[in-house]
Amino acid sequence: MNPRDDSPGEDPNSGGHSRSWHPDTVAVRTSVPRTAYGEHSEALFLSSSFVQQDAGSAAARFAGDEPGFIYSRFSNPSVAAMENRLAALEGAQAALATASGMGAITLLMLGLLQAGDHVVCSRSVFGSTIKLIGDVFGKFGVETSFVSQTEVQEWKTAMRPGRTRLLFAETPSNPLTEVCDIAALAALAHEGGALLVVDNCFCSPALQRPLEFGADIVMHSGTKFLDGQGRTLAGALCGTRELIEGRLLPVQRSAGISLSPFNAWVVHKGMETLALRVQAQSARALELALWLQQQPAVARVHYPGLVSHPQHALAMKQQSGQGGAVLSFDLVADSPEQARERAFALIDATRLCSITANFGDTRTTITHPASTSHGRLSEAQRQAAGIGQGLIRIGVGLEHPTDLQADLAPGLRVAGD
Ligand SMILES: Cc1ncc(COP(=O)(O)O)c(C=O)c1O
């Protein structure tokens, strides 16, 4: 090991980072030990398996009696580097990477639930999350109640004594940016003997650390801000060692929803610039939200950084004083048909924004949630989630705000006619 290794690791629970470092330092310095070559940029370990010293040590590693890498479905140095960095940024004891954000939710459900268990989930979460938790796991006897993102009382009423194991929230929500009270939901979960899971995709640990507000598990789609440049799919779960290594890792070893070392390496490098990107993108999003609010064709802007947002004060408390880099807005229209027509015309009139379903990229993305990310939901589910035909979501990137405004202006003029 290099004597000036970047991972001091004096605290065995720190994921290899020094607790005294500022998050900016943690983001660039938390890693795995350097190899004998002394590489400065972390090596990429594209190896499906690892050679063991002898049969005895292979047996000891397989039995978990000896640390060390065995097979990349279980663990891999590049994946471990990404996991350590993310755990450090979230303030978690441990993190476990998965092939995608949806893979993380699949692992969560497989690892912590069984038939007969019950989940309470916000009805404002990502469309595929609703499908996976409600429909797919419903087939295996896990029941889910979908409730208001913001009304804590609804969560309380939905809980079933002795059966509710998980509360699942995403804050701010996709695409309406509704903010839930993490501390209140954590208290409720713990009162009922359940765990609170928070999807932290929209903020990333650069703005919000749900574990500090009492959440038990943070879930990520690393596809979003953690990579930050639209290159890879990735996911992760962060929490205590007991939950991550004790309960979820054994399931991951069999289920194989593992992250590729290459994608882990990309996300690991992406996290070095996470805070800078997210803060700059949030500042641009606020500027764009303020401008959109003034456009006659816009009925309402959904952005937690706006004083008019219903949970603005809560968002400022939970999200380090920033609104995040995703916003959405409803167009003025007389009917759902007209709203959809106007939304499509506005999207098609843009030249700079990318018409693509992702967000968290350095390049701004624009989508029509009702026909894309939430297109597989029933009309009733969409209405319950408040996703109308005139809703447009923008994942703000690093372009200059004046260029973004110039790109949206022609479409807004048409929609306002
Ligand atoms: C809030 C949120 N959670 C989870 C996911 C799923 O992540 P992935 O696409 O990496 O599976 C997405 C994807 O868009 C998302 O927006």
Residues 112 and 246 in one domain: yes
Tell me how far the alpha carbon of residue 280 lies from the centroid of ligand 1, in angstroms.
22
Q: Cβ(174) to ligand 1 under 6 A?
A: yes
How many structural domains are present in the chain?
A: 2
Residues 185 and 246 in one domain: yes
Cα 215 to Cα 168, 188, 247, 273, distances in angstroms: 10, 11, 17, 25
The reply to whether 17 falls in a domain is no
Residues 129 and 43 in one domain: yes
Residues 245 and 320 in one domain: no
Answer with the one of 252, 273, 294 that is the final residue of a domain.
273
The reply to whether 1 falls in a domain is no
Residues 219 and 335 in one domain: no
The reply to whether 261 falls in a domain is yes
Residues 239 and 108 in one domain: yes
pLDDT in tens, 3-18: 334 443 334 334 445 5
Tell me how far the alpha carbon of residue 370 lies from the centroid of ligand 1, in angstroms.
16
Q: For the chain, list residues with pLDDT below 50.
A: 1-16
Most informative mutation of 86, 98, 100, 102 for ligand 1 (most atoms within 8 A of CB): 102
Answer with the one of 273, 296, 325 that is the final residue of a domain.
273
Q: What is the CATH number of the domain that holds 80?
A: 3.40.640.10
Q: What is the pLDDT of residue 183?
A: 98
Give the pairing type, strands 391-395 and 326-331: antiparallel
Q: Cβ(388) to ligand 1 under 6 A?
A: no
CB proximity list for 317: less than 8 A, separation 6 or greater: none
The reply to whether 10 falls in a domain is no
The reply to whether 16 falls in a domain is no
Tell me how far the alpha carbon of residue 18 lies from the centroid of ligand 1, in angstroms.
30
Q: What is the pLDDT of residue 357?
A: 87
Q: What is the CATH number of the domain that holds 304?
A: 3.90.1150.10
Answer with the one of 234, 254, 273 that is the final residue of a domain.
273
The reply to whether 344 falls in a domain is yes
Residues 267 and 278 in one domain: no
Residues 326 and 241 in one domain: no
Residues 196 and 140 in one domain: yes
The reply to whether 9 falls in a domain is no
Residues 136 and 241 in one domain: yes
Local structure of 317: helix, strand or coil: helix
Task: Looking at 204-335, list the stretches that DSSP marks H as alpha helix, in order from N- to C-terminal side.
Answer: 241, 249-255, 261-270, 274-293, 312-318
DSSP notation for 361-380? SSS-EEE-GGGTTTTTS-HH
Provide the domain limits for residue 171: 23-273
Residues 47 and 136 in one domain: yes
- Residue 366, CA atoms < 13 Å, CB-side half-sphere: 21
Tell me how far the alpha carbon of residue 101 lies from the centroid of ligand 1, in angstroms.
5
Residues 350 and 201 in one domain: no
The residue contributing the CA closest to ligand 1 atom 7 is 101
d(CA 40, CA 179): 40
Most informative mutation of 174, 177, 237, 326 for ligand 1 (most atoms within 8 A of CB): 174
The reply to whether 34 falls in a domain is yes
Q: What is the pLDDT of residue 381?
A: 79
Tell me how far the alpha carbon of residue 100 lies from the centroid of ligand 1, in angstroms.
8
**Geometric angle at alpha carbon 260, from 257 and 261, rounded to 5°:** 135
Q: For tokens 């005294």, what's the residue?
A: 20
